[in-house]
Copies of this chain bind each other. A is one copy, B any other.
Amino acid sequence: MSSSPKELWLENQLCFPLYAVSRLMTKQYTPLLEELDITYPQYLVLLVLWQKDDQLVSDISKRLLLESNTLTPLLKRLEQKQLVKRVRQESDERKVLISLTNAGKELQNKAVCIPERLVENIKSEDISAQEVEQMMTTIHKLISTLATTSERLS
């Protein structure tokens, strides 16, 4: 069936399954987030702000592992939707503080049901809660390994 060495098979590489599952998971969120009129990365930013309001672009950047070149336009779109304010700090004009508007705070009420609804959607007989738990533990370890190595490179 295959001509290539098995190291190069799609399934045997770490990358593809992670890439595929990430995209599929995002697609699960999409219809739920449409009700809030936000995208998935916008939802992540709001999660960060709901947990702690008034954060710098650089704070959000560290949290989501996204650079300003991704965050700046995204935050401008959230500002257009009147969900956040972007205010340049007086004490240090380089920094921009991101704060939730009232609408942004209130959106949290519509969002609280999302995690629950999502878990409902992906429930499967084949996959135990304990198994998912374990996967998450490994992924968190992987993230800290990879995040520090890519930090070292930049």
Contact = CB atoms under 8 A, between A and B. Distances in A.
Contacts of A141: 124, 126-127, 131
A108 interface: yes
Given A15-B29, A25-B14, A149-B121, A8 B135 contact: no
Given A3-B52, A21-B18, A145 B126 contact: yes
A21 B23 CA distance: 12
B134 A134 contact: yes
Interface string A124-154: 1011000110111011111101110110000
Given A127-B141, A141-B124, A141-B126, A19 B22 contact: yes
Contacts of A21: 18, 22, 139, 142-143, 146
A53 B2 CA distance: 9
Tally of this chain's copies: 2
Secondary structure type dominating chain A contacts: helix
A59 to B, nearest CB: 13
Interface residues of A, number: 67
A17 B140 contact: yes
Contacts of A138: 127, 131-132, 134-135
The 8 closest A-B pairs by CB, nearest first: A22-B22, A24-B146, A4-B50, A135-B138, A124-B145, A2-B51, A7-B115, A18-B22
13 contacts: A4-B47, A5-B112, A8-B115, A9-B51, A10-B44, A14-B119, A15-B40, A15-B44, A19-B40, A20-B64, A20-B147, A131-B141, A135-B138
